Amino acid sequence: MAEFGYDIDYAKKLLENDSLVAIPTETVYGLAANATSSIAVTKIFKTKERPSFDPLIIHTYSLDRLNDYVTSIPYKATLLTKRFWPGALTLLLPKKSNIPDIVTSGLDTVAVRVPNHPLTLALLKSLSFPLAAPSANPFGYISPTLAQHVNNQLGDKIEYILDGGACEVGIESTIIGFENALPTVHRLGGVSVEDIESIIGEVDVKPHSSSNPVAPGMLQNHYAPKKKLIIGNIDKLLQHHDNVGIISFQKQYNIQHQIQLSKKGDLDEAAQTLFGAMRQLDNEDISLIISEYVPNIGLGRAINDRLKRAAIKQ
């Protein structure tokens, strides 16, 4: 099992030696490596069993560092960084050559953000390179929102987990690109489309397109528990299925295995709870998870996107 702790100097030493370290962010835990080292980044793909066509997000500590890694920053991108960084918003921007092709899966753009977590910001400030960090889970499985989740699945493959407690946002960052006339949201996430549009006006939302143009749709099944998950009207589904666990938005059911995402109907709280709920029910003695969509506004859109992908079995 991996060691847990708050030792930034130790994490720094490991990263400088091309080793991996799990890091806390406000979205989910990341599996971090020196983004400028192909050797280190290769270890991320191997450890996660992640296909090489799925590019990584790089993390830095300040907007001022952005010009070190990208060749240009559109005005709307700058407006977004000023409003949402540090935070759960990732920008796709044309990359400089110091970012190896393995990080971007050969694409000309690099995904970059400034995460909002004090431990990880302190670590990033202490380093002379940015960190490439996808979620710290085996590829396709539910993302980790606690250090213990990382340890359960990758603990025998990595040495150290920086323990930053429970992730405050609980779902991945929103990804936005500027390659078309309208900025395009490629992944729904921790910053809502409404909040983005309040700063830069209308955006296009195409969350189901794969990041890789040569492999469209390949990533539709993602964020998934091992157990089968069905989404619909919970009351109706209960009439047809036994031995189930329930993930409801607000409502309480008279059943042993059930998790309410937010008793008070708060979508931010529901986002925080979602992945932990899937993980918990995945480990309980039930044969099926049933769930329902939440209101499709604000973070509800990202929650529904995750539920939908978790329910697709290939």
Q: Which spans of this chain sit near ligand AMP (rule: CB under 6 A)?
A: 54-57, 92, 104, 107, 109-111, 134-135, 172, 175, 186-187, 211
DSSP H stretches of helix in the chain: 8-16, 38-48, 75-84, 101-104, 118-126, 147-154, 193-200, 234-240, 267-282, 299-311
Counting other chains too, the contacts that 122-125 makes at CB distance below 8 Å and 24 or more residues apart are 122/8, 123/8, 123/11, 123/12, 123/15, 123/23, 123/162, 124/59, 124/60, 124/61, 125/61
| 79: number of Cβ within 10 Å | 13
CB of 28 to Mg ion, least distance (A): 7
Looking at residue 275, its amino acid is F
Q: Does residue 25 belong to the site contacting Mg ion (CB under 5 A)?
A: no
Among the candidate windows 67-75, 133-141, 262-270, 304-312, which touches Mg ion by CB under 5 A?
Answer: 133-141
Q: Three-class SS of residue 68?
A: helix
| 17: number of Cβ within 10 Å | 10
Q: Does residue 81 belong to the site contacting Mg ion (CB under 5 A)?
A: no
d(CA 164, CA 232): 35
Residue 57 vs 234, nearer CB to Mg ion: 57
CB of 107 to ligand AMP, least distance (A): 4
Residue 193 vs 259, nearer CB to ligand AMP: 193
Residue 189 vs 245, nearer CB to ligand AMP: 189
CB of 153 to Mg ion, least distance (A): 12
Q: Does residue 135 belong to the site contacting Mg ion (CB under 5 A)?
A: yes
**Binding site partner of 54, from ligand AMP, Mg ion, none, Cβ cut-off 5-8 A by kind:** ligand AMP
**Binding site partner of 57, from Mg ion, ligand AMP, none, Cβ cut-off 5-8 A by kind:** ligand AMP
d(CA 51, CA 149): 22
Which residues have C-beta within 8 Å of that of residue 62, sequence separation ≥ 6?
114
d(CA 124, CA 167): 18
CB of 297 to Mg ion, least distance (A): 24
Residue 188 vs 294, nearer CB to ligand AMP: 188
- Determine contact, residues 36/15, Cβ cutoff 8 Å: no
**Binding site partner of 116, from ligand AMP, Mg ion, none, Cβ cut-off 5-8 A by kind:** none
Residue 286 vs 307, nearer CB to ligand AMP: 307
Name the residue with the smallest CB distance to Mg ion.
135
- Determine contact, residues 152/64, Cβ cutoff 8 Å: no
Among the candidate windows 29-37, 132-140, 249-257, 299-307, which touches Mg ion by CB under 5 A?
Answer: 132-140
List the interface residues with Mg ion, window 34-53 (CB under 5 A): none
Residue 103 vs 259, nearer CB to ligand AMP: 103
Supply 64's token pair. 């001022």
The footprint of Mg ion (CB under 5 A) covers: 134-135
